[in-house]
């Protein structure tokens, strides 16, 4: 029997475990906050509503006297969108490269994997810092750089997954009929590597959130006066003892989101490895 | 089992009402099995895949695989119940196990001396057992690692390990699967000798009826977790009482070619979906209403209400004279390499139109490489492949769609050759879409019906099909491309005998009805007679003998073919219908 699990049943299997459910709840909590937040925010994120670090409203005001709650509710949307975009770019490019390397082999494999090794030699943050500091903090650049820094990591995993599938006879069966290679990759191989692909998506999303928040914190991500969780931490950390909410809220949100995606990913990984599935056959 | 004097036995192995259930389904995988094995006796436990024979074998050692648990009954060895703490002391000492694949059962990082030493016994004892299994007892041998031994030697080391502790019960789980027939013969001789020497009760698990006929004293036939028939080997093989046993015997290919093989329609139910009455009822030609409602008890060694009511007529095989025909496919001076290693040397072969050539060889003989080279899957070859007078490029990718269409390939393992993410319809359509350009209406239904499959299966996924159905889908896929030559690479070796027989019938029928030209690759000499008109015997990448099947099998000239004929286990069913 093959250990292959169809994507739908993979999600269903994963959703049966406790950790995935907890993870989904946590992710939903943060995502809903980020998406619906701007609708319920009491003020505009850039309105001055009080004295700097004032404590008149629920969570007080920030370093410039803007409402913390409003900035918090507005600050997640862009982070989420950018993280998801970067993940899609990274996993997409990485999967394509990994599958070409695994399926075609030969010089293509060497070229892709060795270039990947060079990229892997640099820490992701350093790589991102390099490009962003050269070209300046632009949103598209942020997405591209974060995404591409994921690509070699994803490519490695997907290459291994592809190698396992390429050995199987149904790929040879498609080759012997003369099916085009691109069709073989999309029609025969891709549907059989969805397990690791889902896991990679979740994992890279977690890293994207952390990385983009970190870059914003360092001042190289989103620029003031944009409301953004990473930026909020940076702007308000000097008054941490006086007005902790402006830092605590975004920190908690990012932490909860990261833990949530991690739990979901872990559940997916276990489901695709067949752990916790018991012996059903 | 039910004769009075046998129930009194205290020596040997005594199994009563043994039931092993799946977790969490609770469905019995082994259902209330009673067995007795006397010291020195070899019991053949026969069944097809999924019949629960391995689970039962392991339960005899009080071992339960993950997802299974003991649900009732007892196993006693020499009167000592094998339960709880007792079994840990008894394993390796009173009970031993010889697994299916010695290559994975021996630790590749340990020397033979260390492995044998782990099983207890001092140096002198280790050497004694090695001599008994006909292995050298020298220091040089003991210093070797498992990978330095041949498959047969590895299996004999595994046998030596099992007999070191002088066990009272030994369970052998298909220990000759994957060995070639000559090695198998030696291993079987060793097993028989060792069991007699140590007067050890042995349970030999296998799906191979011919092996059972050669080796065992008694037989227990399992179907869907139940022992359906048991008795002395000769009696059961000569006059099977249970319809399943009878049909199973008729599905075994006959090396002597005196009868046709007949498959059993349908497939065995899984433990979860086992029908209420007799598990064989849905496939049984003798079924009556009572069989569907009530589980028959084991009486006089048979679990059947219709035991011995009527036997099945053995279909006498009629030799059809081979007519001459022009060559549809020709191979001229073909040589092939893997890296720098030459696997095929100067092969020339001609496949007459509308006939079947069997390519017979053991693992490593290069038969699959030859088949793949013909299909364009192994481009690294020299020489010529000529299809209908037209020389084909070595690589399938360089052949024209028409050339690719005319030769279709069916793979060995249907669990590997069907993409699990595509429906049967998509699978069957895939080659036709690429090769035919325009897909005619009803192509899928037509191809499925030619492969004797219901069109309703078109929307299923391979995971929802049985092994036999999968292989039929693979054949339907090849037929959909409307080929002239069908290359079948060991198409039945991953399937049970009853399913194998049905697939062989199908393929032979396709040749007769559609005039398909067949190249049938196999390691089973007994199958050759049933399916082919011509045979080419491959050894170490060369054709050592070829000719019409009847002539080659009647008077093999090459020593290798002679050895194959002599070493292949066989049993005589010519009289079983009496």
> How large a percentage of chain A has pLDDT more than 70?
94
User: Average pLDDT of A92-102?
Assistant: 94
- Out of A170, A179, A187, whose CB is closest to B416? A170
Contact B419 A188 (CB under 8 A): yes
Render pLDDT for B371-400 as a digit per residue (tens, 0 to 9).
Answer: 989 988 888 888 889 988 888 888 877 888
Is B295 contained in some domain? Answer: no
Is B279 contained in some domain? Answer: no
Which 21-50 residues of chain B touch chain A by CB within 8 A? 22-25
Q: Is the pLDDT of residue A4 over 80?
A: no
Q: Is the pLDDT of residue B529 over 90?
A: no
Which domains does chain A show, CATH number per domain?
7-273 (1.10.3720.10)
User: Average pLDDT of B19-23?
Assistant: 86
The CA distance from A175 to the nearest CA of chain B, in Å, is: 8
Residue A200 neighbours by CB under 8 Å, 6+ apart: A91, A94, A95, A154, A157, A158
User: Average pLDDT of A234-262?
Assistant: 86
Burial class of residue A117, CB neighbours in 10 A (0-12, 13-18, 19+): exposed
Predicted pLDDT at B398: 82
Is B550 contained in some domain? Answer: yes
Is the ipTM reported for this complex over the cut 0.85?
no
- The Cα B40–Cα B329 span in angstroms is 54
User: What is the pLDDT confidence band of residue B10, given thresholds at 50, 70 and 90?
Assistant: low
Q: Is the pLDDT of residue B294 over 80?
A: yes
Is B91 contained in some domain? Answer: no
User: Average pLDDT of B331-349?
Assistant: 88
With a threshold of 0.90, does the pTM exceed it?
A: no
Q: Which of B138, B165, B192 is the last residue of a domain?
A: B165
Is B92 contained in some domain? Answer: no
- Out of B24, B422, B435, whose CB is closest to A177? B435
Number of domains in chain B: 2
> How large a percentage of chain B has pLDDT more than 70?
95
Is B218 contained in some domain? Answer: no
Render pLDDT for B106-138 as a digit per residue (tens, 0 to 9).
Answer: 888 888 888 888 877 788 888 988 888 888 888
Inter-residue contact B240 to B249 (CB < 8 Å) = yes
Q: Which of B165, B183, B206 is the last residue of a domain?
A: B165
- The Cα B183–Cα B186 span in angstroms is 5
Report the CATH number that the domain containing residue B367 is assigned in CATH. 3.40.50.300
Contact A169 B413 (CB under 8 A): yes
Position with higher pLDDT, B77 vs B316: B77
Q: Is A272 on the interface with B (CB under 8 A)?
A: no
Is B177 contained in some domain? Answer: no
Q: Is the pLDDT of residue A101 over 90?
A: yes
Q: Which domain range does residue B479 map to?
A: 327-567
Burial class of residue B474, CB neighbours in 10 A (0-12, 13-18, 19+): buried
Inter-residue contact B211 to B233 (CB < 8 Å) = no
Q: Which of B126, B142, B165 is the last residue of a domain?
A: B165
- Out of B67, B376, B422, whose CB is closest to A279? B67
Both structure tokens of A191 = 């549907």
Render pLDDT for A14-40 as a digit per residue (tens, 0 to 9).
Answer: 777 888 899 999 999 999 988 888 888
User: Average pLDDT of A105-125?
Assistant: 90
Is B203 contained in some domain? Answer: no
């Amino acid at each position: 029997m093959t250990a292959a699990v169809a994507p739908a049943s993979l999600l269903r299997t994963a959703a049966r475990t406790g950790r995935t459910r907890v993870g989904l709840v946590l992710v939903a909590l943060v995502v809903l906050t980020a998406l619906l937040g701007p609708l319920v925010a009491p003020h505009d994120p850039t309105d001055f509503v009080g004295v700097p670090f004032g404590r008149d409203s629920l969570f007080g005001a920030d370093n410039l006297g803007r409402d913390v709650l409003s900035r918090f509710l507005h600050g997640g949307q862009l982070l989420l969108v950018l993280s998801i975009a970067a993940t899609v770019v990274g996993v997409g490019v990485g999967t394509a490269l990994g599958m070409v390397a695994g399926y075609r082999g030969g010089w293509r494999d060497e070229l892709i994997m060795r270039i990947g090794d060079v990229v892997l030699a640099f820490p992701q943050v350093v790589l991102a810092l390099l490009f962003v500091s050269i070209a300046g903090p632009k949103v598209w650049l942020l997405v591209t750089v974060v995404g591409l820094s994921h690509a070699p990591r994803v490519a490695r995993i997907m290459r291994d997954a592809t190698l396992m599938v390429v050995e199987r006879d149904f790929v040879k069966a498609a080759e012997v009929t003369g099916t085009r290679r691109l069709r073989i990759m999309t029609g025969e191989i891709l549907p059989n590597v969805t397990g690791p692909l889902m896991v990679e998506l979740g994992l890279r999303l977690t890293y994207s959130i952390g990385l983009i928040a970190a870059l914003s914190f360092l001042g190289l991500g989103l620029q003031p006066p944009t409301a953004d969780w990473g930026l909020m931490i940076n702007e308000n950390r000097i008054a941490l003892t006086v007005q902790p909410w402006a830092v605590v809220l975004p920190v908690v949100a990012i932490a909860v989101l990261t833990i949530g995606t991690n739990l979901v990913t872990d559940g997916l990984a276990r489901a695709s490895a067949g752990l916790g599935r018991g012996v059903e056959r | 089992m039910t004769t009075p004097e046998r129930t009194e036995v205290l020596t040997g192995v005594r199994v009563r009402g043994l039931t092993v259930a799946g977790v969490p389904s609770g469905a019995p995988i082994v259902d209330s099995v009673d067995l007795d094995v006397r010291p020195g006796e070899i019991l053949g436990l026969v069944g097809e895949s999924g019949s629960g024979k391995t689970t039962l074998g392991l339960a005899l050692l009080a071992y339960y695989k993950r997802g299974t648990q003991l649900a009732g009954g007892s196993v006693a060895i020499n009167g000592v119940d094998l339960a709880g703490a007792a079994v840990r002391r008894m394993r390796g000492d009173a009970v031993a196990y010889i697994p299916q694949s010695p290559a994975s059962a021996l630790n590749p990082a340990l020397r033979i001396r260390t492995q044998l030493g782990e099983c207890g016994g001092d140096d002198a004892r280790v050497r004694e057992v090695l001599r008994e299994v006909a292995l050298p007892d020298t220091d040089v041998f003991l210093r070797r690692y498992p990978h330095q031994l041949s498959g047969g030697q590895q299996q004999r080391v595994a046998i030596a390990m099992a007999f070191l502790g002088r066990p009272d019960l030994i369970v052998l789980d298909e220990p000759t699967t994957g060995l070639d027939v000559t090695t198998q013969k030696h291993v079987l001789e060793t097993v028989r000798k060792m069991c007699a020497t140590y007067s050890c009760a042995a349970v030999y698990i296998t799906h191979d009826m011919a092996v059972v006929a050669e080796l065992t004293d008694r037989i227990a036939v399992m179907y869907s977790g139940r022992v359906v028939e048991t008795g002395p080997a000769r009696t059961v093989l000569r006059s099977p009482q249970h319809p399943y046993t009878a049909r199973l015997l008729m599905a075994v290919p006959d090396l002597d070619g005196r009868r046709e093989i007949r498959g059993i329609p349908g497939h065995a139910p899984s433990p979860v979906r086992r029908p209420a009455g007799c598990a064989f009822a849905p496939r049984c030609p003798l079924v009556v209403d009572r069989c569907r409602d009530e589980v028959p008890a084991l009486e006089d060694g048979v679990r059947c209400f219709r035991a011995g009511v009527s036997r099945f007529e053995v279909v006498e095989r009629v030799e059809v004279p081979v007519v001459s025909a022009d060559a549809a496919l020709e191979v001229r001076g073909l040589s092939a390499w893997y890296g720098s290693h030459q696997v095929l040397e100067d092969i020339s072969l001609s496949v007459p139109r509308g006939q079947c050539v069997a390519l017979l060889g053991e693992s490593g003989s290069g038969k699959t490489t030859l088949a793949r080279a013909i299909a364009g899957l192994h481009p690294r070859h020299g020489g010529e492949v000529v299809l209908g007078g037209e020389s084909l490029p070595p690589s399938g990718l360089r052949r024209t769609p028409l050339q690719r269409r005319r030769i279709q390939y069916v793979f060995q393992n249907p669990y590997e050759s069907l993409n699990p993410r595509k429906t049967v319809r998509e699978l069957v359509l895939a080659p036709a879409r690429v090769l035919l350009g325009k897909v005619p209406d009803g192509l899928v239904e037509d191809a499925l019906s030619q492969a004797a499959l219901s069109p309703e299966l078109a929307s299923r996924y391979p995971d929802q099909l049985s092994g036999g159905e999968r292989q039929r889908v693979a054949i339907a896929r090849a037929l959909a491309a409307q080929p002239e030559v069908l290359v079948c690479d060991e198409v039945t070796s991953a399937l049970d005998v009853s399913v194998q027989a049905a697939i062989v019938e199908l393929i032979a029928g396709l040749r007769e009805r559609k005039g398909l030209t067949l190249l049938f690759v196999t390691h089973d000499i007994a199958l050759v007679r049933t399916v082919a008109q011509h045979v080419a015997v491959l050894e170490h990448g060369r054709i050592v003998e070829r000719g019409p099947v009847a002539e080659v099998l009647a008077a093999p000239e090459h020593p290798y073919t002679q050895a194959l004929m002599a070493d292949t286990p066989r049993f005589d069913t010519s009289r079983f219908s009496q």
